[in-house]
Structure 1
Amino acid sequence: MADVVTAKRGKALRRGAAIGALVSASVLAAAGCGPEGSQGAGGSGGPGVHSPAATGRKAPMALPAPTGRYPVGTVSRHLVDRQRRDPWVAERPHRELMVSVRYPAQAGAGRYPRAPQLLPDEAAGFDRMNSFSEFVHPGKVAWGATRTYAHEGAPVVRHRGRLPVVLYSPGGGDPRSFGSTLCDELASRGYVVVTVDHTYEAPAVRFPDGRVARSVMPQEAARAQKARRMPELLKKLAAVRVADTRFVLDRLATPGAGSALPDGLRRAVDPDAVGMFGQSAGGFTAAQTMHDDRRIKAAVNMDGVMGYTQRDDDPSNPSTVGTDGVDRPLLLMGKEGDTHRTMPSWGAAWAHSTGWHRDLTLRGGEHAGYTDAQALIPQVARQLGLPAKDVGAMIGTVAPERAIGAQRAYVTAFFDRWLRGRDSGLLDGPSVRRPEVRFVP
């Protein structure tokens, strides 16, 4: 999630994208450890929360429709890792995950209901714990009213050949569905996309039997902060995320009820064409998992610091993806100011990587703009009367439609090139059609 530390608080910390973003903003605030005694998602205020014109209306918000040739279908799967106790809640004997699968569907998918972005319990958890609480109070936004463009249970498209697979890991403290814009886009272009909730880190995860696993990160962050052991917590977060992802990879090929994919879809995918992407901590997770597991053929890191510190100008506690680099394609996509020349963890991975790699900057972009916030926050701002400077602090100053279009274009081009062998040339250099994207040499 975005690390919203504004100039109003006088902080010189980089507003980047460490795996520690979740403990440096929303979670620390919820734990009572935020900067200058700030209150978290359950607090009662603070400077710059919203303008006096705020109305408090909770109207539904809309995500942009995907542009690919296929309608999108979706199913959710409950996965249980019986070889691993839950690392966050000791009394849970097994690690349980919820994943959602997006896929290209047959014509007529519109007969099936569009999936909500968040279930009610998940929306309530996100309302309490997100990095926008400095600007938007809890209860002001109908987070659970948004529908994705994925149709629940729609039949898989009939196709020639096998479909490539892409995994998505969300930002720290975000739900798996907060990347729905890009996930729906990739599915509409013929990819099977598996999104992963990292249980007890995400604000709330609802299981099919009605249980809701709520985040324990505020307590974990408070303990780590008090003991001055934050790097250890960040290392554990990264290790848990990578283990979750590798377990999901195992379950892509598993038959029956324990599979991450329904039988018809499992037989349709290409197990040798698997990529991964994510935002913030999810971007680090994608790069680190590719380093650790050769089943990942290509990865996109969207503004995620690749080290175990809360500040990327602190080079201590580096990750192995930084010290070793990777030998497969890696795309770095940063907000304004975040490049391999300015961020030590990116610079280390860049210097040590022998595989194809590119570094793109979204001019005028902000950290959370690589999530569904890019589409939703302008609608929130209109409802609540937020000033432009607050919107800019959350998602940047680039026009949202330009930002979304650029992310769709470059992420799709990357996976098309490395998972399908279809090279559009978009990644070879700057494009006059995409002036908001800068290639960093």
Structure 2
Amino acid sequence: MRPIAVALAGLAVLAASACTAPTPPRPAAVSPPPSGPATLPAPTGDRPVGTTVLHLKDTSRPDPWNLDAEARELKVTLWYPTEQREGRRAPYMSPKESELMLKKLGSAAVPPDTLSRTGTNAVADAAPTGRGLPLVVLSPGFTKPVSTLTSLAEDLASRGYVVAGVDHPYESYATTLADGTVAECLACDSDADPGFGTGVVLGRAADVSFVLDRLPSEWDGAGVLDRSRTAMVGQSIGGAGAVASMLRDPRIRAGIDMDGTTYARIPKSGFSRPFLFLGTPQHVPGGRDPSWERDWKLLSGWKRWIVLTGAEHQSFTDGPLLQGSLGVTPAYGTLPAQRAAELTRTYVAAFLDRHLKGQRQPILDEPSSRHPEARFCPSACGAS
């Protein structure tokens, strides 16, 4: 197999690893040579976007993966509204992070800093602006940094949200720590162990609660927040982490699981806070992953279960948007990259606008002719 095709196969494996029921791979398709660094689509809101990075250290517990670390260190990337339209755009990831990610994807055909040269829309370290802004915690899939959700984060910030993207060190191929070292994926050595998924989501719930505890004192811009309006959105095992975090922490008022098999068990008495399942056809009733059908019965409050026709696991990330810069065409899914990003942004924002801003959102009440890919379960979708 040519190196560039190997990179694509690696992307597919990354999308499905240890976080959702596996999807049989399709043959990789090789496209023309790489087109140069990608640029993420512009946010759809009316506000410019700023971003900054915090490093938080929880000395109350050891790191669950690095036995030599006496404390759990977290990297938190913040996206938020700003008045600053001009300035240096934040890097998508560092050159070293890009090198490690591409190495794990098996690519020797593109420059190792390719992902670090991806164009973003947020101004680095711009001053936040606004008052009473809702907070959205964002958690990525296993092996992936939170930067792979940048397109969604920038869009939410442009719509008036503060987004706190949490990197969970040693669960990703590359996370830069406060001292500049890059933590690699130690958890990857344990992902076949019994109970692995349950352990990961419980650890992520602890990470998220710590971030909510410390953000007001550690971020100089925290005065723009309304902490009574907090939600969590996660992709893959990050989505499973949203369930676990909400069960642990009552400060999280609403949550979204984007295509993640769930692990934390909901009490038989039920769970009443608003929740959205947004996923691929493998999550339809009777599909390959039964966890949503199990949990749906225990969600006693506002809830929706939406699957996107043609979507695959990485459709909710930046992965499809970046594949052209790697010189490959998607081997998974028939939903075009730009359309996948549009649908993800639309339904995530509609849910948050409804439950954190109190705005009516008709597209959450019934199928829309503008979004025919979105099927409402359990009644209006069948097994794939």
**TM-score in terms of structure 1 length:** 0.77
Q: Does 1:411 align with 2:348?
A: yes
- 1:162/1:269 contact within 8 Å kept: yes
- 2:272/2:302 contact within 8 Å kept: yes
- Root-mean-square deviation (Å): 2.7
In 1: Cα distance, 2:176 partner to 2:109 partner: 20
Q: Residue 17 of structure 1: CA displacement?
A: 8.1
In 2: Cα distance, 1:324 partner to 1:289 partner: 18
SS in 2 for 1:251: helix
SS in 1 for 2:344: helix
Match of residue 41 from structure 1: none
Equivalent pairs, count: 364
Q: Does 1:272 align with 2:272?
A: no
Gaps of 5+ in 2: 1-8, 380-384
In 1: Cα distance, 2:214 partner to 2:290 partner: 35
In 1: Cα distance, 2:369 partner to 2:21 partner: 39
- 1:16/1:303 contact within 8 Å kept: no
Seen in structure 2, the aligned counterparts of structure 1 residues 16 and 58 have a Cα distance that, compared at 3 Å, is closer
Match of residue 146 from structure 2: 176
Equivalent residue letter for 1:409: T
In 2: Cα distance, 1:345 partner to 1:50 partner: 32
Q: Deviations over 1:192-248 (max 9, x none)?
A: 000001101111111232222111133234xxx4xxxx2232222222111111111
More deviation, 364-373/330-339:
330-339
- 2:343/2:371 contact within 8 Å kept: yes
In 2: Cα distance, 1:340 partner to 1:24 partner: 16
Match of 1:281 among 233, 237, 242: 237
In 2: Cα distance, 1:47 partner to 1:366 partner: 12
Q: Does 1:72 align with 2:49?
A: yes
Equivalent residue letter for 1:208: A
Match of residue 20 from structure 1: 18
Match of residue 85 from structure 2: 109
More deviation, 285-294/189-198:
285-294
Match of residue 60 from structure 2: 83
Q: Does 1:196 align with 2:169?
A: no
SS in 1 for 2:122: strand
Match of 2:119 among 147, 157, 161: 147
Seen in structure 2, the aligned counterparts of structure 1 residues 163 and 117 have a Cα distance that, compared at 3 Å, is same
Q: Residue 340 of structure 1: CA displacement?
A: 4.6
Match of residue 347 from structure 1: 293
In 2: Cα distance, 1:376 partner to 1:321 partner: 36
Seen in structure 2, the aligned counterparts of structure 1 residues 337 and 90 have a Cα distance that, compared at 3 Å, is closer
Equivalent residue letter for 1:358: R
In 2: Cα distance, 1:244 partner to 1:348 partner: 26
Seen in structure 2, the aligned counterparts of structure 1 residues 407 and 182 have a Cα distance that, compared at 3 Å, is same
Match of residue 311 from structure 2: 365
Seen in structure 2, the aligned counterparts of structure 1 residues 425 and 50 have a Cα distance that, compared at 3 Å, is closer
Q: Deviations over 1:129-173 (max 9, x none)?
A: 35xx5xxx345361221022111111222x3x4000000000111
* 1:384-423 correspondence to structure 2 within 5 Å: 384=328, 386=329, 391-393=330-332, 396-423=333-360
Q: Residue 61 of structure 1: CA displacement?
A: 1.0
Q: Residue 47 of structure 1: CA displacement?
A: 10
* 1:107-146 correspondence to structure 2 within 5 Å: 108-110=84-86, 112-130=87-105, 133=106, 137-140=107-110, 142-146=114-118
Q: Residue 109 of structure 1: CA displacement?
A: 2.7
* 1:243-392 correspondence to structure 2 within 5 Å: 243-253=206-216, 255=217, 259=218, 261-262=219-220, 265-307=221-263, 319-321=264-266, 325-342=270-287, 343-377=289-323, 379-380=324-325, 383-384=327-328, 386=329, 391-392=330-331
Equivalent pairs: percent with the same residue? 36
**TM-score in terms of structure 2 length:** 0.88
Equivalent residue letter for 1:81: D
Q: Residue 402 of structure 1: CA displacement?
A: 2.2
In 2: Cα distance, 1:271 partner to 1:404 partner: 27
In 1: Cα distance, 2:226 partner to 2:313 partner: 32
- 2:14/2:143 contact within 8 Å kept: no
SS in 2 for 1:285: helix
Match of residue 232 from structure 1: 195
Seen in structure 2, the aligned counterparts of structure 1 residues 140 and 321 have a Cα distance that, compared at 3 Å, is farther
In 1: Cα distance, 2:165 partner to 2:321 partner: 19
Gaps of 5+ in 1: 1-8, 10-14, 26-34, 36-45, 308-318
